[in-house]
């Protein structure tokens, strides 16, 4: 039955697409010269932000915001960490090693 064959192919295509979307970061924020590449960012609920370290030093990003708390630990040049934001609100991202680093992320529905 050719109809069944084509139906199977379509479902497989949809599954591959969904997996790719879940892995890819929606926004990339660089860290260089002990600064974030931007000080403010707006994302949608469900978006993933990738924090890329392109600096000569390590960073330890964290947030103590009511909307979301996290601690990404220390990661060196060339590495990255990803965070998915699942609630609307505002999240202040800081670096435990460099207190002058500040990034405000607004998460919208």
Q: In this structure, what token pair is assigned to residue 62?
A: 């964290």
- We find the least distance from the C-beta atom of residue 96 to Cu ion, in angstroms, to be 7
If one asks whether residue 98 binds Cu ion (CB under 5 A), the answer comes out as yes
- We find the least distance from the C-beta atom of residue 29 to Cu ion, in angstroms, to be 13
Residues 6+ apart with CB under 8 A from 102: 36, 39, 92, 93, 94
Contact with Cu ion (CB under 5 A) among 41, 47, 59, 63? 59
Contact with Cu ion (CB under 5 A) among 91, 95, 103, 107? 95
Q: What is the rounded distance in angstroms from the CA atom of residue 6 to the CA atom of residue 41? A: 43
Nearer to Cu ion, 41 or 95 (CB): 95
- Residue ranges in contact with Cu ion by CB under 5 A: 59, 95, 97-98
């Amino acid at each position: 039955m050719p109809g069944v064959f084509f139906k199977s192919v379509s479902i497989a295509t949809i599954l591959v697409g969904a997996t790719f979307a879940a892995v890819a970061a929606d926004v990339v924020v660089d860290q260089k010269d002990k600064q974030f590449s931007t000080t403010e960012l707006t994302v949608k609920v469900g978006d993933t932000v990738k924090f890329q370290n392109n600096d000569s030093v390590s960073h330890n990003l964290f947030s103590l915001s009511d909307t979301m708390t996290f601690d990404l630990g220390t990661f060196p040049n060339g590495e990255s960490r990803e965070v998915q934001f699942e609630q609307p609100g505002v999240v202040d991202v800081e670096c435990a090693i460099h207190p002058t680093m500040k990034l405000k992320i607004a998460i919208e529905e």
